[in-house]
Amino acid sequence: MLAFALGAAWLQTRPQLPPLAWAALLPLGGLLWAALAPSKLAMQRHPARTIPRTLLVWLLSFLTGFFYAAWRADSRLADALPAQWEGRDVAFSGRVVGLPETTPNGLRFVLDVAAVATPGATLPGRVQIGWYARPGEVAPQLQGGACVSLVARLHRPHGSLNPGGFDFQASLLQRGIRATGSLRGAPAPAMDCGGAAAARLDVLRERLRVHLRAGLAEDPYAGVVIALALGDQDAIPAAQWTLFRQTGTTHLFSVSGLHITLFSAMVYVLVAALWRRFPRMCLRLPARRAGIALGLLAATAYTLLSGFGIPAQRTLYMLAAAAVVAWLDRAPTPSRLLAVALAAVVLIDPWAALAPGFWLSFAAVATLLYAGMGGTRRRLWRAWAHAQWAVTVALAPLLLVLFHEISLVSPLANAVAIPLVSLLAVPLALLAAVLPWDWCALVAHAVIAAGMAWLETLAALPNPVFHTAAPDWPAFLLALLGTALLLLPRGFPARWLGVLLFLPLFFPRLPAPQPGEAWLTVFDVGQGESVLVRTAGRAVLVDTGLRFASGEDAGARVVAPALWRQGITRLDGLVVSHDDIDHSGGAASLLASHRPDWLLTSLAGMPPARLSETGRALLTAAPRALACAAGQTWTWDGVRFQVLHPPAHHYAHPGFRDNDRSCVIRIDTAHGSALLTGDIEQLAEMNLAERRMPLAADVLVAPHHGANTSSTPEFLAAVRPRLVVVPVGRRNPFGHPHPEALARYRALGAEIARTDRHGAVEVKIERAGLAQRRAVDDEKRYWRE
């Protein structure tokens, strides 16, 4: 079963699907397995003869899982939006799946397509639709389970591609969503959408959500109560998710396996205790079996009420396996139960390995089994402390691989929050959802508020979170070996060596430029821009990406994790070229997460009345903000940075647009140069030429995302780049990059890299010459076009 799951997981790392015809050879492997069967006498005399047969079983199981996942993937990829229907308005009807999500700037929901009204159009079975508010517009009224007809403009799944970053396309693939798009107009009620049973469940969840919202009104932790009862994680504000991440308690504030297990156990204990008070009932059905049946029923009901998410499914399958075994009075080893649950999850969801929760949940359970194998009897509080210690140590390597951070206060936070949330808040939240009395919801909110006060106290401590670079495989495997040593029973010799095996994980050897060299990374932040410049010992970020329509921003979602992955926990400087949301949208998040020593921006030279609300907030949050002006220079590790634009007097001139006041920075190394241009257009390019600025550079980050109003022939003739990197979003509404601008780049013989096609682009200006790496080449997966 383990080999089967690993085979399915390995497929998710492949750049393309294998030919399914090769799966026809698996029965031949079964015949070979049968042919290798030794006689009983041979097995007794030569036990080693069974080894080849055992290895063959592992190999066949691995390949079975691999080809099973490939077959499922091939079927899902076939359910695609035809290329000719991308970007076109299509009328169709379908049923809203789950609960619609309200975002700061609109609405987002998933729809199972029932019928297509547009002649000739073909749509995949499940799509995700967004509606983004414009001034004066009223949000459409949608409810979970509703059957609606609408018009939407759809696109094939696409997401930002940065090394080690969140894979939006993979997430959509796992959920079966094969197109995304935007709502055009208002949806209308429809009939005959199918899926009536699932719809009734979603309608019930929607009613319960309305009931809880009415009972809690504007209470600060109302979203947490709703999330614990109904699995609606989108109800929790982003600031609270940040607190949970800092304290290592994220798993507690969604419907997790821990909640379902403890809720099921509570029902089991309660039912069994009450059942024993009725002897006649015990004669018909033992109290233990009654508790097992109703405990599993309670777990199933909670899983359905929470939306039947994948993490909840994993727990339900494991509990079902345990319940069947207990009902039959069997006593299998817990590790076999875990293996059965693992295989069941992968059988139902071959893409489970793409979810970090899959690895963390099974690793946590396996750790508890391993740590308890010594059979030492402990008092309750000691057993609880030992379990916290074991899980914290065991999950540290995985957390650093997946998220590049671990919470140092997590053991203290979970020691209090787990019993408070799982044993008190969850039952109260469920009671509040199904009972008509508001006091249940208010009591649940009060319990959560007490837990939040504890978490806020811990988060206020100095450095509650430890960040480090993504470990390599040798360091990760050594840390796993160290975990196995540290968790051995007391008295086992040399357990302390496990601490030494953790050192490569926490203190990795990181690649870095040599003195006189510079590395540039142009991140893929959609229709925005963010460029990291590294020297031998310093790092500066130029622009921070955009704020998305969902209310999230590229600084927190894309750039900060990428910086942590490279071992950059603090920036030496931050440059925000100008007051456009696609360049400054992530600045506030990065000021908080990476605490740059200074902020250099054209916003600091502008009167506050002419700044956007985002710009004013940025200057308020920055500890030291300077206006960028031509003539500013600094040198780090033999690399010279020079501000070429704007001249200081431009700030007082109302005739210049924000784009033409963008900070333009030139980077000179001993081996080449680069030019970062922000969103300058023709006027600023002419001004640079008139002032005879040194423009010639090997690398050019395209002005204004490759717009035709920039990259004039005269400007490009002065720069003459060998490489042009265009930071641009796929199918953006502005038509960037413009074909004529691309033609001008090609006319110079420059190589062109585009973030919408190539993902993040890393350029190294070093002794060996100019080298570049593209994320699309390093992160090849079968689901990407």
Q: What is the pLDDT of residues 595-633, one digit of tens each?
A: 999 999 999 988 888 888 888 889 988 888 999 999 999
> How many residues can be counted in the chain?
785
Q: In what order do the strands lie in the sheet with 761-766?
A: 625-627, 599-601, 573-576, 539-542, 531-534, 518-522, 761-766, 769-774
pLDDT of residue 48: 60
pLDDT at 549 over 80: no
Q: Which residues partner with 522 through β-bridges?
A: 531, 761
pLDDT of residue 114: 93
Percent above pLDDT 70 for the chain: 96
Mean pLDDT score across all residues of the chain: 90
pLDDT of residue 182: 93
Band the pLDDT of 39: cuts 50, 70, 90: low
Nearest to 157 by CA among 131, 127, 133: 127
Band the pLDDT of 336: cuts 50, 70, 90: confident
Taking residues 136-151, what's their average pLDDT? Answer: 87
Cβ neighbours around 384 below 10 Å, total: 15
Helix (H, G, I), strand (E, B) or coil at 763: strand
Taking residues 676-704, what's their average pLDDT? Answer: 95
| Beta strand ranges found along 341-429 (DSSP E) | 405-407
Band the pLDDT of 254: cuts 50, 70, 90: confident
Q: Are 714 and 687 in contact (CB under 8 A)?
A: no
Lowest mean pLDDT segment, chosen from 169-183, 647-661, 698-712 = 647-661
pLDDT in tens, 660-675: 999 999 999 999 999 9
pLDDT of residue 376: 59
Inter-axis angle of helices 310-327 and 257-275, to 10 degrees? 30
Band the pLDDT of 128: cuts 50, 70, 90: very high
Listing DSSP states for 58-74 in one string gives HHHHHHHHHHHHHHHHH
pLDDT in tens, 474-528: 999 999 999 999 988 877 888 888 999 999 988 888 899 999 999 999 999 999 9
Residue type, 255: V
pLDDT of residue 147: 92
CA distances from 754 to 234, 545, 729 (A): 33, 15, 9
Percent above pLDDT 90 for the chain: 60
Band the pLDDT of 334: cuts 50, 70, 90: confident
pLDDT at 94 over 70: yes
Cα separation, 688 vs 644, in Å, equals: 8
For 583, the token pair is 């360049």
For 468, the token pair is 């480090």
Its pTM stands at 0.89
pLDDT at 43 over 60: no
For 713, the token pair is 């022939």
pLDDT in tens, 185-234: 889 999 878 777 778 888 899 999 999 999 898 899 999 999 999 988 88
Lowest mean pLDDT segment, chosen from 25-34, 268-277, 543-552, 567-576 = 25-34
Lowest mean pLDDT segment, chosen from 10-19, 499-508, 745-754 = 499-508
Cα separation, 735 vs 669, in Å, equals: 34
Band the pLDDT of 375: cuts 50, 70, 90: low
pLDDT of residue 550: 67
Cα separation, 498 vs 475, in Å, equals: 13
pLDDT at 41 over 60: no
Taking residues 99-119, what's their average pLDDT? Answer: 90
What is the torsional sign of CA 460, 462, 466, 467? Answer: positive
Band the pLDDT of 377: cuts 50, 70, 90: low
pLDDT of residue 560: 94
Helix (H, G, I), strand (E, B) or coil at 42: helix
Band the pLDDT of 42: cuts 50, 70, 90: low
